Amino acid sequence: MDSLRFFPRWRPDDPYQVIGLLRMINDILAANPAASRWLEIGSYRGESATIFLGFPQIVTLDCVDHLAAAADILRSKFPREIAAGRCRVRQMSSAAFARQAGELDVVYIDGDHSYEAVRADIAAYSVKLSPGGFLAGHDYHSGYPGVIKAVEKWREHRPISVYADGSWCVRMPI
């Protein structure tokens, strides 16, 4: 299987790309079982979206990706979830979707991993979160110093959780 998260090609025996994200979702839902409105920036092949949609507590998942190829993959992977209104494919830039997005409980940033882009996504979406909502993302590790720098400059003294797959999560004040 050619995959980024399930049996990744650089380490096919590594289950932690999946386990780390499962743990993050589980922690979020344990802290707030009513966290139902989720958004992923950068859904590409729908691998993290597959994991998110495995949780029935996630009532809506907006999948934002500007690539037409990503939108095609998502539409072919999740026809039932799209028909049910649970998965919403947003083929546009994260900046464009931020202008139309309503309130969200969880935002997972996995789009452009440069410092400037992650900083912009954090600025645009942290203000969309419900009280006690969660700002999260992928690839908080040495391979993506821009992700670490943007998250650290923004979060100041807020506690952060970092998971085995490099997912990170910060809870907003209640």
Ligand X SMILES: C[S@@+](CC[C@H](N)C(=O)[O-])C[C@H]1O[C@@H](n2cnc3c(N)ncnc32)[C@H](O)[C@@H]1O
Distance, in Å, from the CA atom of 60 to the CA atom of 76, rounded to the nearest integer, reads: 18
How near is the Cβ of 173 to ligand X at its closest, in Å?
27
Three-class DSSP category at 152: helix
CB of 157 to ligand X, least distance (A): 28
Nearer to ligand X by Cβ, of 39 and 170: the residue is: 39
- Tell me the closest approach of the beta carbon of residue 120 to ligand X, in angstroms: 8
- Residue whose CB is nearest to ligand X in the complex, by number: 42
Residues 6-45 that bind ligand X (CB under 6 A): 42-45
By beta-carbon proximity to ligand X, the closer residue of 5 and 171 is 5
Distance (Å, whole) CA 34 – CA 37: 9
- The distance from CA 145 to its chain's CA centroid, rounded to whole angstroms, is 18
Phi, psi (deg, nearest 5) at residue 38: -115, 155
116: left (phi over 0), alpha (psi -120 to 50) or beta: alpha
- Measured from the CB atom, the residue of 35 and 41 that comes closer to ligand X is 41
150 is a contact residue toward ligand X (CB under 6 A) = no
Cβ atoms within 10 Å of 48's Cβ, excluding its own: 25
Residue 161 contacts ligand X per CB under 6 A = no
Task: Please give the residue ranges that form the binding site for ligand X (CB under 6 A).
Answer: 4-5, 42-48, 64-67, 70, 93-94, 110-112
